Chains A and B, each alone.
Chain A
């Protein structure tokens, strides 16, 4: 029997605001536990939340970029449940009136375009962290993250398989980083997602019973968890049982999902409008200002790269697909007139290295600054393109500074023509047979002499000069 998979994603995007959603507490990552916590984050008796407008502005950017309805009046609700890292005993979220309504996002899966509709995107505060492995027999609570603004992006159940889910997640990541509303650093939990998944027969109109897999924070885990869950649900159904509506956790070590709580055990969150917060109203002026200042998106960049930087379509597409790569391209172009050269490096050698290591560019050791310097040194002829490749490989391993590598390894290109001429003369004198053959008509032997000069100079000779000198001496 053939089964159709129906998947919906809830992606939590940590918004890169300076302060928290309802307090002046810092959102900085990696601080000592409980140092980025103010009275409000702690939920002390008598404190009141004040909504951070910047979080709304960032959420609206996402809404505009997904052609979504923007609710200029939106409000907050309380979601009530007990947990030690939830200081107030409720989470403030937007249940009834979310800031962003229906929108959509285009994804590419194996060169096929697909539109994923977005149900809504709403603001909510993050909880703190429970630390179970630091104190013997006790649990620690770190409230640094408590109150950090999240944008929860809820998709329609329109995703058909793990590949599409990953493509959608990547598209959201691309968008929020381009919009400058999230740093996109998955390892720090800046993006996490819950996956709702169910199976149905092709001819069925109704959706099957779904399970929700909580808190996945990498492309790899999303793909593996979904694929495991699809097989599990098919196994359950084909053995004559039915899928239970429940929340499951993915165990990346055992590569399996496990039941966390069933529907019967599910919390009744007792949502109700938060009486401490008035509805937040976004004026037309505010909305227009956000619209006018919307950062350039991948499609716009792609067009500009083609028209202004003279790139071909495939180069422009690859470079504009990642915020980090686009930034690198633009930074490096400011150091050279040769945008084609920059593009060749990014699309060629660098993309090859990324593919080899299966990583995104922001996870590599190559910084935008270092890349720009590399391009600068190549275009001012300090090093040759060939030497550039070995410098890049060195950076890839060590993250070392371009100028340091050139200096330490003595890679500066030999420009002095008298030196090159001496070397060329020596090569000619040492190889009388080849000289005779070349002059006798074996043109291909020219390459032999170039190679010998390069060998003698350990590749540091300026190839163009070597060509000119050899022509002069041999022809």
Chain B
């Protein structure tokens, strides 16, 4: 029985019924990885350890909720004794002595970390074209980008190699690739999932989350990923519900907000049309639509491109060639060590953002840029607070269009930055948001974004699950000839 395109739920049932052994499941997963090697979705595989763990599971029954499920881990999470590159040449030799809390949580639930997925370097990019380990191809068309930065994770799920993967989302890095690859991806409330062991890009925005074929699988993953972690002071000390329990509850009477300020006429006709059809579908499920205003939303992208680079310029200072990671050959003196290590170790996009970040934090510019951006961020958060007095969720397209071809935006960082137009606001406000497949444009999937109020992941997953049990967009798979 093929394991391709199966959900976590499917695979768990197969394992329980002994239709397949844990070892066979892992072996089949590696076969799929190898037959899809052209996707370049993985940077490092964990084959030996995974087979060993599967054999143990075959011998000793384990009742964890993810027992035996192969999961692809974004290569931004530190994995003990398993190389973690963060998509960068800088960390091409970095083998962490510890694992991220998310990884530990998932592995404690019995999952098998099958390998580390490719990503934009240090999660900076929206097309997976900034990875030192090469572009990732979108399973829906090998000339198409999978989105980024969690492009490898999205591609691995979309190609049916794994049922689920981990991602991280700083400005849309889970939702945008989920949209472009036709899968479901959730960015939880900031603080829901511990950041311990996540290599930081922009600490006040970074949040890990699940990427899977269905909202239900995202809920199953989220149940295991969340924890209140004393090692991360920004980790929330809030009750963690069973995210699967309300999935099937009807959404009759649900109030969905449509953002007045998002002019959908700027989108491709067909994207706007898909969005309208989803609205109609939700209406048929009993939801009602309310126009809401987010007056400062147009400032999201510029605000983000001050805050995120500022934090990254500081977070990436530790990569200096002194303690770990790459060091340039034969440094002549300290300055030479720093300059060459960082010039050789970082790619162009990372350097660009470090420069922007250093600039906006520097004496004389701090007030005009960083401080102002933080003030605007507060205004955007207030806009959402006001909106959520009127609605249960806010609905937008996830992206402006479907997957674009690789190289098409390479020369224009601003165009690339606008990829995250719809996704960035949720990061700035720290709110949960997810993307589900809601249609096709020119044979390519696109996604619908739902933004929820603080800690309302259960509600988002319920709204998404209601959509998925009454539509089949999430069941579409890339056509045979591409695969």
Contact = CB atoms under 8 A, between A and B. Distances in A.
Interface string B293-335: 0000000000000000011011011111011110000000010
Interface string A21-45: 0000000000000000001001111
Contacts of B320: 82, 84, 89
Contacts of B323: 42-44, 87, 141
- Mostly, the A contact residues are loop
A46 B231 CA distance: 11
A90 B366 CA distance: 17
Contacts of A290: none
Contact of B198 (A46, A84, A268): A46
A3 interface: no
Contacts of B313: 80, 270
A456 B368 CA distance: 90
A404 B241 CA distance: 71
B334 A275 contact: no
B91 A45 contact: yes
Contact of A80 (B198, B232, B361): B361
Interface stretch (B96-104, B112-120, B273-281, B382-390): B96-104
A277 interface: yes
Interface stretch (B199-207, B263-271, B345-353): B199-207
Interface in B182-200: 195-200
B108 interface: no
Contacts of B362: 268, 270
Interface string A49-90: 111000000000000000000000000001010101001111
A228 interface: no
A231 interface: no
A209 B96 CA distance: 49
Interface residues of B, number: 45
Interface residues of A, number: 29
Contacts of A47: 196-197
Given A87-B323, A90-B314, A45 B233 contact: no
Interface in B1-56: none
Contact of B318 (A49, A87, A141, A271): A87
Interface in A313-342: none
A90 B320 CA distance: 12
B303 to A, nearest CB: 15
Nearest to B357: A270
Given A272-B366, A275-B311, A43 B318 contact: yes
A45 to B, nearest CB: 4
A48 B317 contact: no
Given A48-B196, A78-B314, A275-B234, 7 more contacts: A44-B323, A44-B324, A45-B86, A45-B325, A84-B320, A87-B318, A270-B366
18 contacts: A39-B98, A44-B96, A45-B86, A45-B324, A46-B197, A50-B230, A51-B233, A80-B314, A82-B338, A89-B317, A90-B314, A90-B317, A270-B313, A270-B363, A272-B361, A275-B204, A275-B234, A278-B233
